[in-house]
Structures are given as C-alpha cells and as structure tokens.
Amino acid sequence: MHNEEEQLYNKPFSWKVWAKMFPFFLPYKRKLGGIMILMLILAAVDMFIPLLQKYVIDTFIVPKTADGIIPVTVAAGAVFIITTVFTIIFIRIAIQVEVLFARDLRKKLFDHLQTLSISYYNTTPVGYMIARVMSDTNRIGELVAWGLVDVMWGLAYVVFVIIAMMVLEWRLGIIIVVMIPVMALITTWFQQRILRYNREVRQLNSRITGSYNEGINGARTSKTLVIEEINSREFSLLSGKFYRSAVNATTLSSIYMPIMMFFGVIAVALILVNGSGMVVEGMLQFGTMSAMISYAIGIFEPIQHLTRTFANVVATQANIERVSSLLETKPLITESPEVIEKYGDSFDAKPENWEPLHGDIKFDDITFMYPDGNENVLEHFNLDVPAGTTVAIVGETGAGKSTLVNLVCRFFEPTKGKVLIDGRDYRERSQLWLHSNIGYVLQSPHLFSGNVRENIRYGRLGASDEDIMRAAKLVCADKVIEKLEQGLDTDVGEGGDRLSTGEKQLISFARAVLADPRIFVLDEATSSIDTQTEALIQNAISNILEGRTSFLIAHRLSTIKMADLILVVRDGKIIERGTHRDLLAKGGYYRQLYTMQFETESKKNI
C-alpha cells in the first residue's frame, strides 16, 4: 500500500485524471465563475493601489498642496470598501464550494460503497475506505476552492503588474520581468523538495497513529506476551523517521523564505539604483519611482502562491487517483437492467413488485471458485433444500463452511450452474428481494451506535416495543435487557463495545427474529453464550426455525443433532452428507470429529 501511494504521489500532472472530477464541478460552475470574476476584480484593484499612490505623490506630496485631495480620498476609501466587500464575498463562496464539493464527492463515495459486494469489504482495509471518503475528499475540495482563488488572483495580478510597470517605465519593468523566471525556478526547486518531505511526514504520521492505536487496543496482549520493549523500539523508529522528515521540511522552508526575500531585496535595490538616477536627471517622476518599488515588492508573493498551488495540484492528483479508483470499482454482483426496472435498486426499491419467498433452494450443477482463488471449491455440486429444511454445515476451523451460505445469500455467485430459489434462478430477482428474506446471525455480531431498542428494530423498522420484546423473549435476550441499567434505552456504544460478545449475539439474534425472514443463517450464533443460556436458546431455535429454511454453521456438533441434513466440509470440499444418525453410522470423518469433541468436552466436565 505504501509503494502504491508513493507511485501515485510521483505521477506527473495529467488532465485526464482531473477530468474525472469535472462532473462534480458542474453544479458549482456559477460559483466557480463568480470566484474567477471576483479574483480578476481584486487583482485589478490591488494593481491600482500603487497607481493611486503615484498620483498622490506626484499631485499632492511633491508640489506640497492639498487642492483636490478630497476626491482622491473618496477614491481611496472606495478602493478599501470594494476590497473588503469583495473579499468577504469570495471567502464565503470559496468556503461553500469547498464544503459542498467535498460533501457531494463524499456522498457519491458512500453510496457507491453500499453497492459493492461483500468480497470488497473482505479484502479492503477499513482505514483505506475511511481515508478515501474523508481525507481525500477534503483535500480535493480544499484545492478546488482555494487553489482556484490563488491561481486566478496570482496570474491576474502578475499580468496586470507587468503591464503597468512596462507602461510606467519599461526600463525598470524589464528588471522584474528578468527576475520572475529566476524566482519561479528557485521556488519550483524548493517546493518539490518541501512537498516530498511533507508527503513523508503525512505517511509517517498515519503509520504512527496506527501504531499508537494498535498499542492501546492491544495493550493486554502486549503485556501478556511481554513485548513492551519491542513495541517501544518500533514506535521510536517511526517517531525518529517522522522527526527527520519534519526537520528536513522545516529546514528547506527556513532557507527558502530568506532566499526569496533576498531576491526581492535585489530587485528593489536595482530599481532604486537605476530609478534614483532617472529621478535626479528628470527622466522619471518620484511617484512613478514609488509605484515601481511597490510593484517590485508585491509581485513576488503571488509568484510563490502560484508555484505552491501548482505543486499542490500535482500532489492532490494522488487523492483524485485514489477516489477515482474507488468510484470505478465495480461490484462483483450486479443486476440486469430488467431486474432493476422491476425490483428497483438499493436506493430506489420497488417492494410492491417483490414476490413472496417460500424457501425452496436448489443448487443446480454448481461449480464455484472464489474470485481471488485458483481452484474450484465446488464442482458439479447438486443439492435440493425443500422449504422448512434445516441444513447444518460442519467442519474444522478454516475448512470452508461459509461457502454454501455465501452462495445462498448471493454474496458470491456460482462460476457455473444456478442457484434456484422457489424454482427460479435467483439472478432473475434482485439482491434486495433475497436479502430482505434472510435473517443472518454472525459469530461476531455487529451492533450499530445507538440503544438496544434501535438495534433490534433494524430487523423491522415499524416494529413496536411489544414486538421487540416478543422477539427478545424468543431468544432469551429479554434476560439481558432486564439486567441493563436502562433496559431497551441502554446505549450499546460504538459497534456494541459496551456489551459482551454473548449479549451482542443475543440482541442480533432478536433483531433477526423480528425481521421474520423465510431463510435463517446462523453462523456459530451461540458460540459466545454460556452453556445454560445456550440450552434455552436451542429449544427456542427449534420453534423459530420451524417452517423456515435454515443453514446452521456450527463448530460444536452437539448443537446440530436436530438438523434435517448435515454437510461435512473438509479442505473446502463437501465430503459427507446425511443426518446425524446416518453420519455416525457411516463411521467416517463426521464420526471422527464428533467422537473427538465428545471426548474433549467430557474431560472438561470432569
């Protein structure tokens, strides 16, 4: 990841990359046009001030008279008012563009993430997605708004000043014209290197933040493994690299500014030396000399702004590359236009067209390989699961028990063959239709920020408190709720961190029950629940699953004796199938697993 980002940072400027952002610019073209016009006006006003200064010196100061000074004073006041008002307006517009542009881009990214398949989330770090949605969008929005301000004002001011100087006295103006390329080259050289060190600082800062976070979250593990010294040494190395990069960037900046000031002083000195002689000889008015000095002092600041902005444009291109890469990521599972037309999509569902789901599931000559795999997990696999059947999938950790469930839930699609639901290929209907009929309880359940009531109600948003408690009682979650200080109003914390894993499992179980799905998937749903509560839930599960098609992924074989069909998975392949009694009678791998677990549990109980 670091090498990939470094390559993005080092890419040259490309209009094709920036063109990808044009659709997001269009809604604000009037505001951006307004900023450009305001910058042109302000640059013209800034250029006009030394001319006004020249007029005052030549008309009032040199002749030592005040006749007619009132209109000039009014003009100066008008210039001040115009500058103040226009500055307020352009700052307001620029802030709006920055915030609104970043908002639109962030919303587009967030919506796009909702359409991506489960496989994307399995392979992409959360930090990567958060950085794209938050940091990168902010950086792009900031450059679009304020970069345009700097470029328009800087270019206009430099052009206006050069014209004014050449008109006033071209022999002095040529000094500045010659100095500008020199200053631009020096600025470019320094900015490239300062930018490189600042990139390193940002990268190292991200790594330090991650290391710091990991050190806190893993404090207990670090102490039990006695690796505090290793952690400290690694953190010190990162901090040292950060320090050196920051010092290098600061050192270059501290050298750059005096050099720029030196060349500015040289330019002013040359104008003073040459201009003074011209004033003495009567070839140049004193006011013109004063204006030329003001222009010489003021012209180098916009040149610095322009060079810095162009460097930031190239740097921000890396942010655009990353954002565009995410936006261009295609979901693994897509709907046909006909399906979208009838059933709707994630943001415009048409539930009135959704047919009832009964629960007959058929795997018809399925061959399947994971997108990042290199061999088939299933080959010519066939299985009929009539509505109301309970299918248990067992095997050792990492054996591939989730493959069938992933196919049933359409988190992945078959490489070859069909999955039929109620006699139709499920690709002929929408994922929304299917997912709205599935209740999924995970081994490591996720709760959303909010209280217990809100988390259970996600199963059916229109549910009453009575419905919520009824669902909770079915899975014994009511006992957990009664123990909580505020009952249903208890805040679960971020990701449910304020509750134990067992409590989270029970609440997520209640959420799934409340949805009243036709298909249930229980992935080690009672693995983090105490033995006594598990016994109560097992009885409740029998009632809950009655009449529904269900898939139980289990490690503890004692929990799936009642299944209508047990599939035994080993090394990603289904090697045995049958009922609990049939598989024990066969004396195969299932019997071996069952016997081993039975002996282990017996020893624990002694």
| 125-151: pLDDT as tens digits | 776 788 788 888 998 999 988 988 888
Beta carbons of 475 and 533 less than 8 angstroms apart: no
Q: Are strands 565-570 and 549-554 parallel, antiparallel or unpaired?
A: unpaired
pLDDT digits (tens, 9 = 90+) for 221-269: 777 777 778 878 888 888 888 888 888 878 887 887 788 778 878 888 8
DSSP letter, residue 61:
I
> What are the residue ranges of helices labelled H in 226-336?
228-280, 286-298, 300-327
More confident site: 502 or 539: 502
CA 233 – CA 239 distance, rounded (Å) = 10
**In this model, does residue 598 exceed pLDDT 70?**
no
Position 376 scores a pLDDT of: 86
CA 544 – CA 537 distance, rounded (Å) = 10
Structure tokens belonging to residue 464: 């009453």
Position 341 scores a pLDDT of: 92
**In this model, does residue 533 exceed pLDDT 70?**
no
Structure tokens belonging to residue 479: 């006992």
CA 502 – CA 360 distance, rounded (Å) = 32
Closest CA relative to residue 535, chosen from 499, 559, 560? 559
Closest CA relative to residue 369, chosen from 422, 409, 406? 406
pLDDT digits (tens, 9 = 90+) for 299-339: 878 887 787 787 777 777 778 888 898 899 988 888 999 99
Lowest mean pLDDT, pick from 59-68, 195-204, 254-263, 371-380? 195-204
Position 377 scores a pLDDT of: 85
Position 3 scores a pLDDT of: 47
Mean pLDDT of 420-434: 93
Amino acid at position 511, single letter: R
CA 120 – CA 112 distance, rounded (Å) = 12
Ranked by mean pLDDT, the top range of 298-307, 359-368, 518-527, 554-563 is: 359-368
**In this model, does residue 454 exceed pLDDT 60?**
yes
Mean pLDDT of 595-602: 68
CA 356 – CA 308 distance, rounded (Å) = 61
pLDDT digits (tens, 9 = 90+) for 42-97: 999 999 999 999 999 988 888 888 888 898 899 889 999 999 999 999 999 999 99
CA 564 – CA 100 distance, rounded (Å) = 56
Closest CA relative to residue 292, chosen from 5, 40, 54, 29? 54
The residues facing 76 across adjacent strands are: none
Local confidence band at 390 (pLDDT 50, 70, 90 cut-offs):
very high
Position 11 scores a pLDDT of: 59
Closest CA relative to residue 196, chosen from 332, 80, 311? 311
Contact residues for 149 (Cβ-Cβ < 8 A; gap 6+): 35, 39, 90, 94
> What are the residue ranges of helices labelled H in 132-227?
137-142, 148-217, 219-225
b (16+ CB within 10 A) / e for 441-477: bbeebebeeebbbbbbbbbbeebeeebbbebbebbbb
Position 1 scores a pLDDT of: 45
Task: Give the number of other Cβ atoms within 10 Å of residue 561's Cβ.
Answer: 14
Structure tokens belonging to residue 497: 């961190």
Position 265 scores a pLDDT of: 84
Mean pLDDT of 422-451: 89
Q: Helix-strand-coil percent breakdown of the chain, rounded to 5?
A: 65, 10, 20
Position 536 scores a pLDDT of: 63
Between the CA of residue 88 and those of 71, 92, 93, 305, 306, what are the distances in Å?
A: 26, 6, 9, 20, 22
**In this model, does residue 209 exceed pLDDT 80?**
no
What's the angle, vertex CA 150, arms to CA 147 and CA 152, rounded to 5? 105
Ranked by mean pLDDT, the top range of 248-262, 285-299, 546-560, 586-600 is: 285-299
Q: Largest Cα–Cα distance in the chain? A: 119
Element (H, E) at 37: helix 29-56
Beta carbons of 533 and 502 less than 8 angstroms apart: yes
More confident site: 119 or 420: 420
Position 540 scores a pLDDT of: 67
**In this model, does residue 525 exceed pLDDT 90?**
no
Task: Give the number of other Cβ atoms within 10 Å of residue 542's Cβ.
Answer: 11
Q: What percent of the chain has pLDDT over 70?
A: 91
pLDDT digits (tens, 9 = 90+) for 16-35: 888 899 999 899 999 999 99
Position 249 scores a pLDDT of: 79
Please provide the average confidence, as pLDDT, over all residues in the chain: 85
Task: Give the number of other Cβ atoms within 10 Å of residue 11's Cβ.
Answer: 12
Position 32 scores a pLDDT of: 92
